[in-house]
A and B are shown apart, each in its own frame.
Chain A
């Protein structure tokens, strides 16, 4: 998804046809499908060069079948609503351009894996947010509150920059083979969330968080499959963050 010199200029309309194969499930059933039954459905639509998978889903929902259910809000990759499995890889639908996928084959769109499917592309996000809450994702300090800001050098600020970018989209956690099979593991996002505070020079709650991550549901479950790093739409080096946390646990030094 990087720059291509031949990309048509804005406003130029290069139209092409694409087919989406969408994994569907209606918990209440439809005239053709039973309640909870999972099935594939295909739609072919006209797309433009700047269209994203989200635009294609909207075309289907708005002009063909309003019952198609998915979450979305910002439409430019910053709110974390629309992580889904697109051609067997976790991505944000609003950040995946159709022209960057092979248009010769149907584009496969499925809900993210490892969380209960509620309807079509919507999954239950509660277990994911529960893991995030578990690692105490808030600044912990002791002593009196200072008058002015707490000081932090640009280098100290840079130390945890990468993990501050997380938008809680769950693409990483739901791409993790350990998370799929192990009912206990917090998943990579919770470690990213903890990393953001562990390496913040202002925070004093590192050891509380590290203790949680040292638990059986924590970092040691990670088998460095790297799926999470590949999946992260914010370009966070998730595996690196996890290994930095492991290293602190091994050495006792931050």
Chain B
């Protein structure tokens, strides 16, 4: 099977230090790829490079078998992807306008924007906040706005960098269930960064463990979690430590 996205010898270095080094990574159409790893492992960097928001120092990115010019991706191409960044950066305007932002950028007719925004606000349980200034939201509310703002674009590829980290548990469970069915229904190719094993278990098909900028293990999620390699094992072990 031909991969939808393929990384070829991607390196990202800053001031002599290698932040990310991925000799090879293929992401297939319709799959959900989980990415786990300790703080500073390079997960967010990987997401930004995959989504062409940040140019790698060296290496090539292929999309549908065609090389994507790093740092100079066509607008048409960029508009097929949506990204939820780790930092929730919400515009200083209403929740409605925030969720509508990407559609307005695409010059979608007003009536259709309204319809779609209302649908997604409902889906994320934030309809009652539509007219509120987004800078007055709680962390979890802001994160839902951030998610709605990306999903409303109905992207071909979705990049999610710890999108549920600020949500309360019941909301998280409900959203992940919804999410899973939406993603499968629309067969949206997804890269999902998370620190939560149960999220990853439930949502992802394959899992990559990242450490010090390198993918130390990649495979079907269940397999990786069941039989992790040496280094991955110690990381996953620490993840399940409890405080007592």
Note whether A and B form a binding pair. no
